[in-house]
Amino acid sequence: MARAVAVTGLGVVAPCGVGADAFWQGLLRVPEHGDRRVPDWDPSAWFHNPKEARRADRFTQFALAAATEALEQAGDLNAEPWRVGVMIGTGIGGISTNEVQIVNRHEKGDRRVSPFLIPMMMPNAAGASVSMRFGFQGPCESIVTACAAGTHSVGAAVHAIRAGRCDVMIAGGSEAPFTPTAVAGFTNMTALSSTGESRPFDQRRNGFVMSEGAAVLILEDLERAEARDAEILALVLGSASTADAHHITAPAPGGSGAVLCMETALADSGISAGDVTHINAHGTSTPLNDAAEAMAVAKVFPSPGPVVTSTKGVTGHALGAAGALEAAAVVLSIRNHLIPPTFGLEQPDPELPHIDLVMGEPRPWEPGPAISNSFGFGGHNGSVVIAPAPSD
């Protein structure tokens, strides 16, 4: 029988709030229009000195801050270092450092390229930094699957615990994608909202609003978490990862890849579609993605189906960090018995299948099994199933 996996710690850096409590309050407030950046970010609280902070890309800074908060909440792990692993995904890693140094070389020559370019830009820098900061010697890996990376990281970490390789995993995603070239690239492919509005599942949606941030979950074998009297925030029942094998950016027709992913996650979790009470949708506010996901949800779940929200109405789309942020949102929804609304959704697209979308105000919820979905460029699909702790 698979080992049950508990969530015992949670850390968040997001545009709507730094820290899990601030993040939760932010999910309940009407957001500003435009890019969603972490305001007034000061990394000094998480580094020993300014020089150390300068030698970490912004996405690594976010990950260290989120991991520190999560580990503080989890308390004394009482685990052998080699039995603790780190799995932090990203879509594009240290792209800010990369772009700055490319400009330096172009304008000033080879000798002006920072010797810290490579360790700052590499996608595994965030996970490596967390591992080194806290002395964790188990597997330290970075999944890079575009917008599904955070969800895939949580899923892979769960399987490492289930397989008996690790007792504890530090898992999540981090992203800091705002560079002139990255923004231009997303703009020119017409992926970004032309109005700066994130409107998941709304008939006026016209693209996503780019974001940044990080979220980290402490995942732990349930029996050992209970033995050390840790607070169990939630359980992760299972996960899935599939590929559309269809198109580099567009989802498979009818959401077939998403259907397979959610069905596989349910099977991995040992529950049926009728057991699921809530979905935190990928819901990016792009025409094709929202349509494919709505069709997939309608196919997998019996009517009236689970309660659906997209927290990207508040957070925007943080690419490789999105799935981790949304897993964190589900855990907090469980703790607060409340589902945040899909901000920006005012006129549900009548062309989409009917799904039970939360609009306007938060919805009270008696927590039950929930799915968090992520679907990334390249046809990467990820779903993770999260449920209340046994005592809830």
- CA end-to-end span of the chain: 23
3-class DSSP state of 110: helix
Preceding omega of 388 cis (within 30 degrees of 0): no
3-class DSSP state of 13: strand
The count of other CB atoms within 10 Å of the CB of residue 99 is 15
Residues in the chain: 392
Asked if residues 294 and 259 have their Cβ atoms less than 8 Å apart, the reply is no
Active site residues: 147, 282, 317
Longest dimension (CA), the chain: 63
Instruction: Quote the strand ranges of 232-277, DSSP E.
Output: 234-243
* Owner of token pair 């989120």: 66
Beta strand pairing call for 17-18 and 5-14:
antiparallel
